[in-house]
Amino acid sequence: MAQSVLLTGAAGRVGEAILEGLAEEHEWRLLDRDPPTEDQPGEFVVADITDEDAVREAMEEIDVVVHLAGDPRPEAPWDSVLTNNIDGTQTVFEAAVDAGVEKVVFASSNHAVGNYETDDRTPDMYREHDEYLLDGTELPRPSNLYGVSKAAGETLGRYYHDEHDISVVCVRIGNLTEGHPPIDYERGQAMWLSYRDCAHLFDRCIRADYDYEIVYGISDNDRKYYSLERARDALGYDPRDNSAYYDGEDRVVEPDP
Ligand SMILES: NC(=O)C1=CN([C@@H]2O[C@H](COP(=O)(O)OP(=O)(O)OC[C@H]3O[C@@H](n4cnc5c(N)ncnc54)[C@H](O)[C@@H]3O)[C@@H](O)[C@H]2O)C=CC1
Ligand SMILES: O=C1O[C@H](COP(=O)(O)O)[C@@H](O)[C@H](O)[C@H]1O
């Protein structure tokens, strides 16, 4: 069944991948502090997520919130992640609970756990033969202040779920690129998320029933150090892409199965 979905950060890259795949699947209300540059499916609200009144208004009649808005830079300074990623996310969760929203899908990041990539594990852990796997049950180990802000967002989700019973899924997104995996970047290839798998994963987050979940958001790459088991079991995620089907440049070496 189509859901009424509020998509924050809709003007960004992840928003683009989601809307490219799912424009017709749900009723969209889009929110971003930057106005749209082209036609969009649904109403577009130009607002900052730290503006409590605007966020509360955008939340009316919404079933599911997909919360992407924030500073996505791994090198982002503390004042920006504190305002946009932590304060903004708290404003979104609080307004969602008050509006009776059923589910919040939170865009977390690989950088919430980036410091598991220790000197003695890398680069082997980026390669197919290595068996090291994170599964979402491990504690956060952020690689920067941006990662700290994503771990904080996951914890806000845990709190709002436990205290207010709202369903929350935190997607630790890997590396989203369009068309082909990152070039000449083993880490990025191991955590590649294709546009179509991204749309499918967020569709499952919108439709599935769950309590509180942390899942990894990557394609079914041969070389991976993030388990997809929880995303498959809890959400029904069934990815179709694999960075191993590319030659490390932008050429396909094996067709889609
Ligand atoms: N692109 C990727 O590979 C990954 C993205 N993520 C997360 O996914 C989310 C989306 O990332 P991208 O689309 O790549 O970034 P982006 O920079 O392309 O899009 C973010 C959007 O959020 C908006 N925004 C930022 N702060 C805002 C605020 N205070 N109020 C309203 N709008 C605001 C921006 O205007 C922008 O359109 C971010 O939370 C990011 O941390 C996590 C891991 C990987
Ligand atoms: O969280 C994010 O992660 C991706 C991948 O990180 P990188 O350090 O390997 O580039 C990044 O591209 C994206 O901007 C960021 O939001």
C-alpha–C-alpha distance, residues 175 and 62, integer Å: 29
Alpha carbon separation from 238 to 73, 123, 173, 202, 218 (Å, rounded) = 28, 27, 15, 12, 11
Would the annotation count 150 as a binding residue?
A: yes
With a Cβ cut-off of 6 Å, ligand 2 is lined by: 72, 74, 109-111, 175, 187-188
What are the C-alpha distances in Å from 57 to residues 2, 49, 62, 88, 178? 21, 11, 10, 15, 33
Separation of CA 13 and ligand 1 centre (Å) = 7
Name the H helices within 109-233.
145-164, 186-190, 195-207, 229-230
Residues identified as active-site: 146
30 and 15 Cβ atoms separated by less than 8 Å: yes
| Number of H-type helices and E-type strands within the chain | 8, 9
CA 6-175-187 angle, to 5 degrees, is: 160
Instruction: Give yes or no for a contact between 85 and 153, defined as CB atoms under 8 angstroms apart.
Output: yes
User: What token pair was written down for 206?
Assistant: 């919108």
- Residues 143 and 112: their CA atoms lie apart, in Å, by 7
* Residue 190 alpha carbon to ligand 2 centre in Å: 13
Beta strand 27-32 pairing with 64-67: unpaired
- H or E stretch covering 29: strand 27-32
Instruction: Name the token pair of 235.
Output: 């959400």
* ipTM field: 0.99
Torsion over CA: 37, 39, 45, 50 (sign): negative
- Residue 257: the pLDDT is 54
Write out the chain's pLDDT in tens, 257 residues: 778 999 999 999 999 999 999 999 999 999 999 998 889 999 999 999 999 999 999 999 999 999 999 999 999 999 999 999 999 999 999 999 999 999 999 999 999 999 999 999 999 999 999 999 999 999 999 999 999 999 999 999 999 999 999 999 999 999 999 999 999 999 999 999 999 999 999 999 999 999 999 999 999 999 999 999 999 999 999 999 999 999 877 678 866 55
Q: Flag whether 167 is marked binding.
A: no
Residue of 68, 148, 175, 221 with the most ligand 2 atoms within 8 Å of its CB, for mutation: 175
30 contact partners, CB below 8 Å, separation of at least 6: 7, 10, 11, 15, 19, 36, 40, 41, 42, 43, 44, 45
* Candidate from 68, 85, 111 with most ligand 2 atoms within 8 A of CB, to mutate: 111
Return the residue whose CA atom lies nearest to atom 16 of ligand 2. Answer: 72
Report the C-alpha gap between 93 and 108 in whole angstroms: 14
What is the CATH code of the structural domain delimited by 4-245? 3.40.50.720
Residue nearest to atom 8 of ligand 2 (CA): 74
- Looking at residue 230, what is its pLDDT? 98
